[in-house]
């Protein structure tokens, strides 16, 4: 509390947010409200759609077409500026659709969801032949019988990340690891994600968290900032919390600098949102250095950073709705 915060309205806004999250029995009341809405045959509660097979979808998911085109322009301008200093740099943009695009058959009838495929095509048109855009939509649709998205969370699963890694790598001249190179381990069967928190429906079954562990492990050293250096890309302590997806790379951080045992002189600059967190471990066999930057939390000179670190490859990885709504991508050209 301070005079400035009171007069600016920030204090009262934060206090209202705090009390809405902390009132006694909050989760129970949300669950009760959801049950009454289902009893009234409603297909959503304003925050999630109640899909088939106990699948929840984000009812607030949108594609901001104006911001989408602006962000495509920022990315295009940024990559062109880096090429002037690093003409041999390889670049790629990977925009991942969310569950509503891949599983429309599980949505309630007539649920108004954004057309993500149309949005990707607009980005492709904006890039022209100047930037390589990898669109995994058809690949994911062809694999929709597999466990691709959490039913209770907005993220994709590690299995989906592997499938797209395989396709993206082949499209970019990289020889991907095959599934036999991994031991797939079930870490938890009690994951309730962010979408479940918006419904808190006790009839929904929890999700499973899976890890792809290398049979021949690649050593890593990851600098997470603030003197936090680790030999792992995983945070097992999160498996005992609600936020189990943070097992992959931990919480959102502005910058993570990863050095691997893959001695090939290749440095990847990865500009990303949290969809990249379970994707990054697959990259450690292909790059000696992986520099992970999150524009939502990092304000820096992105071109100078790329040049100073001698990046050989740039990958921009977002889920499509996030990419279309992220107002921080302008930082790439500032």
pLDDT of the residue at 16: 52
With cut-offs at 50, 70 and 90, classify the pLDDT of residue 174.
very high
β partners of residue 221: 259
The pLDDT tens digits for 143-163 are 999 999 999 999 999 999 999
pLDDT over threshold 60, residue 334? yes
Position 43 scores a pLDDT of 81
158 or 26, higher pLDDT:
158
Mean pLDDT of the chain: 91
pLDDT of 118 above 60: yes
Residue 36 has a pLDDT of 53
Q: Is the pLDDT reported for residue 17 higher than 60?
A: no
**DSSP labels for 83-147?**
HHH-TT-EEEEEEE--HHHH-GGGSPTT-----HHHHHHHHHHHHTTSS-EE--HHHHHHTTTS-
Interacting residues of 217 by C-beta distance below 8 A, sequence separation 6+:
none
Pair 123, 117: CB distance under 8 Å = no
Among residues 257, 166, 247, the alpha carbon closest in space to that of 220 is found at: 257
Over residues 76-98, the mean pLDDT reads 98
- Residue 228: exposure state from Cβ atoms within 10 A (0-12, 13-18, ≥19): exposed
* Residue bearing the bigger pLDDT, 209 or 38: 209
Q: How far apart are alpha carbons 134 and 163 in whole angstroms? A: 13
Q: Above 50 in pLDDT, residue 29?
A: no
Tens of pLDDT, residues 132-142: 999 999 999 99
Q: What percent of the chain has pLDDT over 90?
A: 83
Joined tokens for residue 247: 């097992």
Q: Read off the pLDDT band of 188 (50, 70, 90).
A: very high
CA distance 209 to 150: 9
Question: What pLDDT is recorded for position 9?
Answer: 55
Give the residue from 245, 248, 264 showing the smallest Cα distance to 256.
248
Global pTM? 0.87
Which sign does the torsion angle of CA 26, 31, 32, 33 carry? positive
């Amino acid at each position: 509390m301070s005079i400035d915060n009171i007069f600016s309205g920030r204090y009262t806004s934060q206090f209202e947010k705090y009390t809405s999250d902390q009132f006694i029995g909050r989760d129970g009341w949300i669950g009760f409200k959801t049950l009454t809405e289902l009893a009234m045959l409603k297909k959503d509660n304003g925050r999630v759609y109640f899909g088939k097979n106990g699948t929840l979808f984000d009812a607030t998911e949108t594609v901001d077409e104006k911001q989408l085109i602006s962000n495509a322009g920022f990315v295009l301008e940024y990559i062109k500026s880096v090429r002037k200093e690093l003409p041999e740099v390889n670049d790629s943009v990977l925009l991942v659709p969310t569950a509503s695009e891949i599983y429309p058959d599980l949505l309630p009838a007539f649920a108004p969801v954004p057309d993500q495929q149309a949005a990707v095509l607009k980005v492709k048109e904006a890039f022209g032949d100047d930037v390589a855009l990898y669109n995994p939509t058809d690949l994911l649709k062809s694999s929709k019988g597999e466990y691709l998205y959490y039913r209770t969370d907005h993220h994709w699963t590690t299995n989906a990340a592997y499938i797209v890694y395989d396709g993206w790598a082949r499209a970019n001249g990289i020889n991907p690891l095959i599934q036999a190179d991994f031991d797939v381990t079930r870490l938890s069967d009690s994951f309730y994600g962010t979408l479940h928190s918006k419904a808190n429906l006790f009839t929904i079954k929890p999700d499973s968290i899976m890890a792809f562990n290398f049979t021949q492990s690649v050593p890593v050293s990851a600098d997470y900032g603030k003197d936090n250096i680790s030999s792992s890309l995983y945070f097992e302590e999160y498996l005992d919390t609600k936020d189990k997806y943070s097992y992959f790379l931990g919480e959102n951080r502005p910058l993570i600098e990863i050095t691997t045992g893959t001695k090939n002189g290749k440095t990847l600059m990865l500009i990303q949102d949290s969809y990249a967190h379970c994707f990054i471990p697959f990259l450690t066999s292909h790059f000696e250095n992986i520099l992970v930057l999150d524009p939502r939390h990092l304000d820096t000179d992105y071109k100078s950073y790329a040049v100073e670190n001698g990046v050989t490859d740039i990958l921009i990885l977002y889920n499509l709705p996030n990419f279309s709504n992220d107002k921080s991508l302008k930082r790439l050209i500032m």
